[in-house]
Amino acid sequence: MAASTTAPPSTETFWADAERHLVRYGGEFTREIIDRAAGSFLFTADGRKILDFTSGQMSAILGHSHPAIVATVQRQVATLDHLYSGMLSRPVVDLARRLADTLPAPLEKALLLTTGAESNEAAIRMAKLVTGRHEIVSFARSWHGMTQAAASATYSAGRKGYGPAAPGNFAIPVPNVYRPDFTAADGSLDWRRQLDFAFDLIDAQSTGSLAACLVEPILSSGGIIEPPAGYFAALRDKCRERGMLLILDEAQTGLCRTGTWYAFERDGVVPDILTLSKTLGAGLPLAAVVTSAEIEQEAYERGFLFFTTHVADPLVAAVGNTVLDVLTGDRLDERARSLGAFLRQGLSDIAGRHEVVGDIRGRGLLAGLELVVDRETKQSSDELGARVTRRCLQLGLHMNIVQLPGMGGVFRIAPPLTATEDELELGLTILDEAIGDACAVL
């Protein structure tokens, strides 16, 4: 059949169709028609070039349309793309084995799924079955997904208006060094006292059925908040004392993003269950739950059930193997460390020029920049953050800002691990200009 010569609809028709036919699922759509993407850039239908400082949805760690990923998809979709859920293929077993090789013992058994929400759903389901309990503890600014159990463990957004969450979900305060709630004599965060207080409250509320603690090593949607060194070891001890499993959600931090293969490596704490997603598929829908042989055996004996349409699909598993090839071959953990240091220095330089930059934080190529109206009081301004975001896009930089009650606007900066120093420098230059322009009209 000959290729269609019909011209695409006009911009006005496109947006009219979008407004008429699309369900809005979280704020307003960015008013750009994205035509294609390559490397660190997006290209719009009207010819604009936009630097992508969010790696798509914090996922495209190898940039857009990486040649190795393109070749794998083309090859795999032509040979074996999808199977009945009970069937296995070589890409699936290879990926499970190779993931285990990147992880410390005893993490060696993997379940391959599609999204972060799905992997957290499966991890929670497994923890409940294995422990015979149902209560789940998470951070008060967490984001773990929009399906039932994952959404019930999510506190940063989306809780109001949907009826009761799953019973037995509890929130603990986030150890935010920049905005401490429990303080030592010198005004710094007293995270040990905060953690003790948190679990005193958990113990008071629990019915005696604590199953697991599900947390992110670095809270992303919560504002790029990294708990202090030592926190996760203490949290693990709290879990052990209560017979709880520790589940770490490394959707955004896993697979070299923070400068190490996994963010939990800094703390020397190995979770009972690890969930991976976004970065594992480098932009394609691939997720994993990884646990020990002991926990998997117990779950199996108790009848663990998690059939989904796309569990263990060979197409995305092949992509996952290619992601591991590129991460290893190009030593992208080292690259994330060096580029992360470059990015951090650039952000520090911006802070030196603009009083509205209150804090810079994060690790590797996952950075946060918090805007405030006043550095002394740390007073926030939603309008300032929104204005900087809009100006960045006008100047050719896509940024994502987290705006939560009690915080300033926090930019989540997560460029691809394949970005160049020149591309980072371009993004920093645009951000610098955008902050200056936004402040000029305060």
What is the CA 43 to chain-centroid distance, rounded? Answer: 24
Closest C-alpha to 408, from 429, 436, 437, 387 = 387
Q: Which residues contact 199 (CB under 8 A, 6 or more apart)?
A: 172, 238
Bridging pattern class, strands 41-44 and 400-402: unpaired
Bridging pattern class, strands 49-52 and 41-44: antiparallel
Q: What is the DSSP letter of 228?
A: P
Question: What number of residues does the chain have?
Answer: 442
Tokens (6 digits) for 348: 């520090």
Closest C-alpha to 54, from 74, 31, 30, 71 = 30
Q: Which residues contact 320 (CB under 8 A, 6 or more apart)?
A: 91, 95, 99, 112, 280, 281, 286, 288
Tokens (6 digits) for 227: 């708990």
What are the residue numbers of the active site?
Answer: 143, 216, 249, 252, 278, 412
Residue with structure tokens 């060094």?
177
For residues 424 and 344, the answer to whether their CB atoms sit within 8 Å is no
Q: Which residues contact 27 (CB under 8 A, 6 or more apart)?
A: none
List Cα–Cα distances, 292 to 6, 39, 43, 174, 297, in angstroms. 55, 36, 43, 28, 9
For residues 295 and 126, the answer to whether their CB atoms sit within 8 Å is yes
